[in-house]
């Protein structure tokens, strides 16, 4: 079921994060789940389809929350809450059994306070699945920023959604494994697992994905093509002959990504770092 829901995820680095966090959380029916920084709500959708859990989708961006509500079709076991973690999460102490906190920390001014808030609202014995971008990322993932940084020019503006690459969408920082582990432990967590995800990747992967999204969201392409590139349309089985090039390209991406199945090196380069945190 999980593989089917991930069948139209074009970002294979993101796909690996989803699989890893679902594995870490080991969700049971009846669990209280927080998807903190839910964005469009993909983790919320995945969990709601796999488990009869009570899910809170939280984000500071009210427009994204509206989009998430529409994409997930207002299921009864999901509540959508807006707020700013910088001002404190609007939940009681020890409210959640499991927490998804994926690719959020790097956007926040005060990452230490944010982790302490996550620790506060997690139940004792509960689990948080955390991912952050790796400062030691592969050259192939973002050759432009990698080159600039290694010759001392720094990275492109994080507000530039094309050239910004790994820094896009206002990333404040990237992390090394030792740095994020120390930060989690300082917040009070016990780090039971720490892994690196996605070392092998297609050249200019980020930019290809960005252009692909611009292609199907802004150009007059067929409905079938749009559905083939939209991860929330995983239930659609429609086949459009014009999708053959997209499918062929995706198969090449998957072939390269499959090499990551046996790769695990905390000292090596990777796109993301994942941690399983217990309280």
For 222-241, the DSSP string reads: -HHHHHHH-GGGTT-----G
Tell me the pLDDT band of 190, cut-offs 50, 70 and 90: very high
* In a domain? residue 165: no
* In a domain? residue 195: yes
Looking at residue 74, its pLDDT comes to: 65
Q: Which residue would you say has higher pLDDT here, 1 or 115? A: 115
Q: What is the mean pLDDT of residues 4-32?
A: 93
Nearest alpha carbon to residue 200 among 12, 21, 20, 18:
12
Tell me the pLDDT band of 212, cut-offs 50, 70 and 90: low
Nearest alpha carbon to residue 273 among 198, 210, 217, 203:
198
Q: Which domain holds residue 130?
A: 2-138+172-203+265-278
What whole-number distance in Å separates Cα of residue 180 and Cα of residue 270?
14
Strand order of the β-sheet with 78-82 is 78-82, 54-59, 32-36, 96-102, 122-133, 272-278, 190-197
Instruction: Out of 7-21, 87-101, 214-228, 229-243, pick the least confident.
Output: 214-228
Q: What is the mean pLDDT of residues 218-242?
A: 57
pTM: 0.89
* In a domain? residue 87: yes
* In a domain? residue 18: yes
Looking at residue 183, its pLDDT comes to: 98
Tell me the pLDDT band of 221, cut-offs 50, 70 and 90: very low
* In a domain? residue 63: yes
DSSP code at position 128: E
Beta pairing class for 122-133 and 96-102: parallel
* In a domain? residue 254: no
* Residue 73 burial (C-beta neighbours within 10 Å; 0-12, 13-18, 19+): exposed
Looking at residue 240, its pLDDT comes to: 46
Nearest alpha carbon to residue 108 among 118, 96, 123, 95:
118
Helix axis angle, 12-25 relative to 42-50, nearest 10°?
50
C-alpha 233 chain-centroid distance? 18
Domain count, the chain: 1
Mean pLDDT of the chain, nearest integer: 89
Looking at residue 233, its pLDDT comes to: 76
pLDDT at 169 over 90: no
* In a domain? residue 248: no
End-to-end CA distance of the chain: 30
Q: Where are the alpha helices (DSSP H) in the chain?
A: 2-5, 12-25, 42-50, 62-72, 111-121, 143-150, 177-186, 205-218, 223-229, 244-257
Looking at residue 253, its pLDDT comes to: 85
* In a domain? residue 58: yes
63: CATH: 3.40.50.150
Tell me the pLDDT band of 229, cut-offs 50, 70 and 90: low
Tell me the pLDDT band of 204, cut-offs 50, 70 and 90: confident
Q: What is the mean pLDDT of residues 176-189?
A: 98
DSSP code at position 136: S
Instruction: Out of 34-48, 122-136, 246-260, pick the least confident.
Output: 246-260
Q: What is the mean pLDDT of residues 176-182?
A: 98
Q: Which residues pair with 100 in a beta bridge?
A: 35, 129
Q: What is the mean pLDDT of residues 92-119?
A: 97
Q: What is the mean pLDDT of residues 210-230?
A: 55
Tell me the pLDDT band of 241, cut-offs 50, 70 and 90: very low
Contacts of 226 (CB under 8 A, 6+ apart): 216, 233
Q: What is the mean pLDDT of residues 71-91?
A: 90
């Amino acid at each position: 079921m999980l593989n089917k829901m991930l069948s139209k995820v074009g970002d294979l680095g993101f796909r690996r994060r989803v699989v890893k966090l679902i594995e870490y959380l080991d969700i049971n029916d009846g669990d209280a789940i927080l998807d903190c920084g839910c964005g469009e709500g993909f983790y919320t959708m995945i969990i709601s389809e796999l488990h009869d859990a009570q899910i809170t989708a939280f984000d500071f961006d009210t427009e994204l929350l509206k989009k998430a509500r529409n994409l997930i079709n207002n299921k009864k076991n999901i509540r959508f809450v807006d707020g700013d973690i910088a001002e404190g999460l609007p939940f009681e102490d020890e409210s959640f059994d499991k927490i998804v906190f994926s690719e959020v920390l790097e956007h926040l001014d005060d990452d230490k306070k944010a982790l302490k808030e996550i620790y506060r609202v997690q139940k004792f014995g509960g689990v948080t699945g955390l991912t952050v971008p790796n400062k030691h990322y592969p050259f192939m993932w973002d050759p432009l920023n990698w080159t600039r940084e290694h010759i001392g020019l720094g990275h492109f503006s994080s507000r530039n959604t094309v050239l910004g690459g790994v820094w896009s969408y206002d990333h404040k920082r990237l992390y090394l494994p030792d740095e994020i582990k120390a930060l989690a432990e300082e917040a009070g967590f016990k780090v039971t697992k720490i892994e690196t995800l996605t070392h092998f990747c297609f050249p200019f992967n980020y930019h290809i994905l960005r252009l692909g999204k611009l292609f199907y969201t802004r150009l007059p392409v067929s409905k079938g093509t749009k559905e083939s590139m939209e991860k929330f349309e995983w239930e659609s089985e429609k086949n459009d002959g014009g999708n053959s090039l997209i499918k062929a390209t995706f198969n090449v991406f998957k072939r390269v990504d499959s090499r990551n199945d046996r790769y695990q090196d905390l000292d090596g380069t990777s796109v993301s770092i994942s941690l399983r945190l217990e309280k």
